[in-house]
């Protein structure tokens, strides 16, 4: 997994609430058997018309945001389907950080497996970042995972919380399957005990 | 110290390891797998030379992508990319030695219908699947939730999942339901009250007389949509109905082993003094047959109500409601029961079981689908389909003008050719009314099977109580 340490980039404002993973990547693009190449279809039904032409006023089609790396989103971002194709599409497009007041649980976890940092903040901080993002390509934002801080174009700093284990994995690009396999002995002994206690499982 | 909730008890029984910060390794008893969210996970195993740790606890079935029309055993009758995903599941199941129900098997169906039907899902288990509607299995008092593909790979390789414990939420539905009100109306009404993020960070336990009175199938409908309320999982404590349902199923324990299991299952309920982080109570008598009007499952209103005015909401929901109405082509103040539809879909892991088909058939018997409408029934599994044919339900549907299909997810997520065309409006028994969910620019109204059947007859959203 790609590490996430410090990112300075353009932030795109998407204040829509309840953006679901069907919106992020519609199902017709889930027929792939690889993780790559989904960026071009990120937000497909909002981004292109039926002929495949870009819809000019859609956020990520606007010149200022075509290279956005940070998304400042509305409440409950990533709700609905568990599809990991959503973070795959975001990452493939180049979005490495999503900021919102709240995230749906499965999407939130899926982000960390794909080098994307989801940051939950109080409404007033999200509002401030939305305001920065609305300035377009002239205003970059820096997200520092080690320090757990976001710095805006005016130098103001916003602190954020992140789970210590998830932070560790993201900073070091760790594959958590490898980490769990180091606990194989615990799994073995649990399995032996469980087979005794609940042999029908 | 306070007592334990059902969630606490299942959690404790599956805890392999807990770090100081609460990061936990949870053992997984059943891993259900389908063709859309698993190919990358199996590929990951191959690339790292890893094996499936517990193939006997891993069950695969293709459902999301498969056509629901005859002749689908022949890959030539599938679109190329669908055929490729199904072929990948076929070969992965063989290569890794996991249980498998191919499309040619009568037991094939939607993974969340097949699991309980075959007795894979049992009380007190942990169940995961790369699908958010895994919450369905919570109806058995099993801790069941959806996971992403990286987590699918993690479970395949280690039979565990890295988790942090969620908070406990109690949703109590008191009293009796009124005639015409179903499990679907309960679960939609709860989401209407709590919102799609109301359950985020929680595991919900549904309880109360109205929940106890539900059949196992009704309970599955309720738990299925826990995720639509933001909760990872929904649970219902197992009782005599649960034990009777499970007994005798192919993979359920038998004889002495069943008795031993039963002894433990009977302990699986929340203690009276358990701590709840959040409690929501709804009177069963207050629940009406409901429909959704917008593009979020929280956009729920009784069928007797009017399309709301976006200005009646607060914050970001004002803009979202306006966007929903624009997308849905509706006007504030319009009567919900005046909304004309052109398509009806009965099926899905929410409402594709035999009782759902019986409820719809009871409304349709001796009636016809309104002229010009497209209506289809997609049974949740091959076995549901066979049973419905034996009970004469299939004939009722066909005579009414419904298309009688083969089992799969079908138009619930419209990955296969069963889709809405732009602007088409559907009365649907599925679980999501998101933009584009049932087809590009398609419009979805969620409701119970009986309500969908009533709408099929009249051609508009209809209060089923007028027809019973």
Tell me which chain B residues have a C-beta less than 8 angstroms from the C-beta of A181: 157-158
Beta-carbon separation of A183 and B25 below 8 A = yes
> How far is CA B70 from each of CA A74, B102, B374, B378, B400, rounded to the nearest angstrom?
44, 15, 18, 12, 20
Give the whole-number percent of chain A exceeding pLDDT 90: 95
3-state DSSP assignment of residue B171 = strand
> In this complex, is the C-beta atom of A52 within 8 Å of any C-beta atom belonging to chain B?
no
| E strand or H helix at B299 | none
- What's the pLDDT tens digit per position in B10-30? 999 999 999 999 999 999 999
Q: Which residue of A has its CA nearest to B145?
A: A106
> How far is CA B213 from each of CA B117, B176, B192, B368, B388, rounded to the nearest angstrom?
20, 8, 22, 32, 24
Mean pLDDT of chain B: 97
Quote the minimal CA–CA distance from A63 to chain B in Å.
24
Distance CA B398, CA B134 (A): 31
Q: Which residue of B has its CA nearest to A114?
A: B150
Beta strands in A77-155 (DSSP E): 97-100, 117-120, 140-144, 149-151
Q: Residue B287 has what pLDDT? A: 98
Give A 121-160 residues with CB within 8 A of chain B: none
Q: Residue B348 has what pLDDT? A: 98
The DSSP output letter for B109 is B
Q: Which of A106, A115, A126, A170 has the most B C-beta neighbours within 10 Å, making it the best mutation to test the interface with B?
A: A106
Q: Which residue of B has its CA nearest to A183?
A: B17
Tell me which chain B residues have a C-beta less than 8 angstroms from the C-beta of A118: none
Beta-carbon separation of A33 and B160 below 8 A = no
C-alpha R_g of chain A: 19
Q: Residue A1 has what pLDDT? A: 87
Beta-carbon separation of A84 and B230 below 8 A = no
Regions in chain B scoring below 50 on pLDDT: none
pTM score > 0.90 for this model? Answer: yes
B468 contact partners, CB below 8 Å, separation of at least 6: B179, B180, B363, B450
Q: Residue B1 has what pLDDT? A: 72
ipTM associated with this complex: 0.95
Q: Residue A147 has what pLDDT? A: 98
The residue to which tokens 């409601």 are assigned: B321
Q: Which of A35, A120, A200 has the most B C-beta neighbours within 10 Å, making it the best mutation to test the interface with B?
A: A200
Q: Residue A138 has what pLDDT? A: 82
Distance CA B384, CA B361 (A): 14
Beta-carbon separation of B148 and A109 below 8 A = yes
CB B426 within 8 Å of CB B460: no
Tell me what the mean pLDDT of segment A156-180 comes to. Answer: 95
B365 contact partners, CB below 8 Å, separation of at least 6: B396, B400
A137: confidence class by pLDDT, cuts 50, 70, 90: confident
Q: Residue A185 has what pLDDT? A: 97
Q: Which residue of B has its CA nearest to A102?
A: B197
Q: Residue A175 has what pLDDT? A: 85
> In this complex, is the C-beta atom of A74 within 8 Å of any C-beta atom belonging to chain B?
yes
Quote the minimal CA–CA distance from B138 to chain A in Å.
16
Distance CA B26, CA A183 (A): 12
Q: Residue B278 has what pLDDT? A: 98
């Amino acid at each position: 997994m790609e590490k996430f340490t410090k990112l300075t980039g353009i932030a795109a404002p998407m204040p829509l609430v309840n953006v679901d993973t069907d919106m992020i990547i519609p199902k017709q693009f889930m027929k792939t058997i690889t993780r790559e190449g989904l960026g071009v279809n990120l937000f497909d039904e909002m981004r292109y018309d039926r002929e495949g032409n870009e819809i000019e006023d859609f956020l990520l089609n606007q010149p200022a945001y075509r290279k956005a790396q940070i998304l400042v989103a509305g409440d409950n971002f990533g709700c609905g389907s568990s599809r990991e194709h959503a973070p795959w599409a975001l990452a493939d497009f180049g979005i490495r950080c999503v900021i919102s007041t709240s995230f749906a649980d499965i999407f939130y976890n899926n982000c960390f497996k794909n080098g994307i940092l989801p940051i939950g903040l109080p409404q007033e901080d999200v509002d401030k970042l939305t305001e920065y993002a609305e300035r377009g390509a002239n205003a970059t934002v820096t997200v520092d995972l080690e320090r757990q801080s976001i710095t805006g174009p005016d130098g103001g700093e916003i602190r954020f919380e992140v789970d210590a284990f998830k932070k560790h994995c993201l900073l070091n690009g760790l594959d958590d399957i490898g980490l769990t396999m180091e606990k194989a002995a615990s799994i073995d002994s649990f399995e032996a005990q469980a087979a005794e206690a609940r042999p029908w499982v | 110290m306070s007592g334990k909730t059902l969630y606490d008890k299942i959690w404790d029984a599956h805890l392999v390891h807990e770090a100081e910060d609460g990061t936990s390794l949870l053992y997984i008893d059943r891993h259900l797998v389908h063709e859309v969210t698993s190919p990358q996970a199996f590929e990951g195993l191959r690339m790292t030379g890893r094996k499936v740790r517990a193939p006997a606890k891993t069950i695969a079935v293709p459902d999301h992508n498969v056509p629901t029309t005859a002749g689908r055993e022949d890959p030539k009758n599938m679109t190329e990319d669908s055929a490729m995903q199904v072929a990948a599941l076929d070969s992965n199941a063989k290569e890794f030695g996991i249980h498998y129900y191919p499309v040619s098997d009568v037991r094939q169906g939607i993974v969340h219908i097949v699991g309980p039907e075959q007795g894979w899902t049992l009380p007190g288990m942990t169940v995961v699947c790369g699908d958010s509607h895994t919450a369905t299995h919570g109806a058995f008092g099993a801790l069941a939730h959806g996971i992403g593909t990286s987590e699918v790979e993690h479970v395949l390789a280690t039979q565990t999942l890295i988790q942090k414990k969620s908070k406990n939420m109690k949703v109590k539905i008191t009293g009796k339901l009124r005639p015409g009100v179903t499990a679907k109306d309960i679960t939609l009404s709860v989401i209407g009250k709590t919102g799609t993020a109301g359950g985020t960070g929680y595991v919900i336990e549904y309880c109360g007389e109205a929940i106890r009175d539900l059949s196992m199938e009704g309970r599955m409908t309720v738990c299925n949509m826990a995720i639509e309320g933001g909760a990872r999982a929904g649970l219902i404590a197992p009782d005599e109905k649960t034990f009777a349902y499970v007994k005798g199923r192919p993979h359920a324990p038998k004889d002495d082993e069943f008795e031993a299991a039963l002894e433990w299952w009977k302990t699986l309920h929340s203690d009276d003094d358990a701590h709840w982080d959040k409690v929501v109570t709804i009177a069963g008598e207050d629940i009406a047959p409901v429909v959704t009007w917008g593009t979020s499952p929280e956009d729920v209103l009784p069928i007797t109500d009017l399309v709301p005015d976006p200005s009646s909401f607060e914050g970001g929901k004002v803009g979202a409601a306006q966007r929903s109405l624009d997308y849905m082509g509706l006007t504030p103040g319009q009567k919900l029961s005046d909304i004309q539809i052109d398509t009806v879909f009965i099926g899905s892991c929410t409402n594709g079981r035999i009782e759902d088909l019986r409820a719809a058939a009871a409304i349709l018997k001796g009636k016809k689908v309104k002229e010009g409408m497209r209506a289809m029934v997609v049974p949740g599994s091959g076995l549901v389909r066979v049973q419905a044919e034996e009970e004469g339900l299939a004939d009722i549907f066909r005579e009414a003008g419904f298309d009688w299909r083969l089992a799969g997810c079908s138009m619930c997520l419209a990955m296969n050719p069963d889709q809405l065309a732009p602007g088409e409006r559907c009365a649907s028994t599925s679980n999501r009314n998101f933009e584009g969910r049932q087809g590009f620019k398609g419009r979805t109204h969620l409701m119970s099977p009986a309500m969908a059947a009533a709408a099929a007859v009249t051609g508009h959203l209809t209060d089923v109580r007028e027809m019973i």
